[in-house]
């Protein structure tokens, strides 16, 4: 994503696309403290084992690791503390209903800066079975092989 549009990608959750079918994507703000924002700017964030859950009408991201800011001192926060995600109450209640009714889950897909605000892209996802993961991997390698062959024939 370009800086001209005011969006700067910080991190992307590749494992989510391997483990889940992403049905819908949503954008949410995230409530962070000053040293956490500085750490995110340096790329000190990991989304691999993270997930989202609704508790008391609020949306939280659990397992999102934000490394402590190296120049921070007493203001550094716990790296794995639950982070509150900011969305409208109607959106949160709709997401909660879909999660409970359809057996779906909410997964953070990426973190980026929109202008100066930290945003999280959340995916409404359904888990893949083992054979689905194998099929996806086989399809990916066959597509890669086809692209490689086409490139060789052009040259």
**Mind giving me the DSSP string for 32-52?**
--HHHHHHHHTT-EE-TT-EE
Q: Which two tokens stand for residue 36?
A: 């956490």
pTM of the prediction?
0.76
Q: Is the pLDDT of residue 2 over 80?
A: no
Q: Distance between alpha carbon 107 and the CA centroid of its chain, in Å?
A: 6
Per-residue pLDDT tens over the stretch 27-44 = 999 988 778 888 888 888
Contact (Cβ atoms closer than 8 angstroms) between residue 64 and residue 48: no
Single out the residue of 81, 95, 86 nearest to residue 30, CA to CA. Answer: 86
Query: How many whole angstroms separate alpha carbon 40 and alpha carbon 35?
Result: 9
CATH class belonging to 7-128: mainly beta
Across-strand partners of 22? 125
Domain extents for the chain? 7-128
Q: Is the pLDDT of residue 88 over 90?
A: yes
């Amino acid at each position: 994503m370009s800086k001209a549009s005011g969006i700067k990608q910080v991190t992307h959750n590749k494992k989510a696309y391997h483990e889940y079918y992403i049905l819908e994507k949503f954008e949410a703000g995230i409530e962070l403290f000053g040293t956490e924002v500085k750490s995110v700017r340096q790329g000190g964030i990991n989304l691999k084992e993270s997930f989202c859950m609704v508790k008391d009408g609020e949306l939280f991201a659990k397992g999102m690791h934000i490394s402590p800011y190296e120049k921070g001192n007493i203001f550094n926060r716990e790296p794995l503390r639950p982070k509150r995600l900011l969305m409208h109450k109607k959106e949160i209640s709709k997401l909660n209903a879909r999660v409970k009714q359809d057996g779906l889950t909410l997964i953070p897909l990426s973190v980026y800066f929109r202008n100066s605000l930290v945003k999280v892209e959340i995916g409404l996802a359904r888990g893949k079975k083992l054979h689905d993961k194998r099929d996806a991997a086989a399809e990916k390698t066959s597509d890669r092989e086809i692209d490689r062959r086409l490139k060789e024939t052009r040259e």
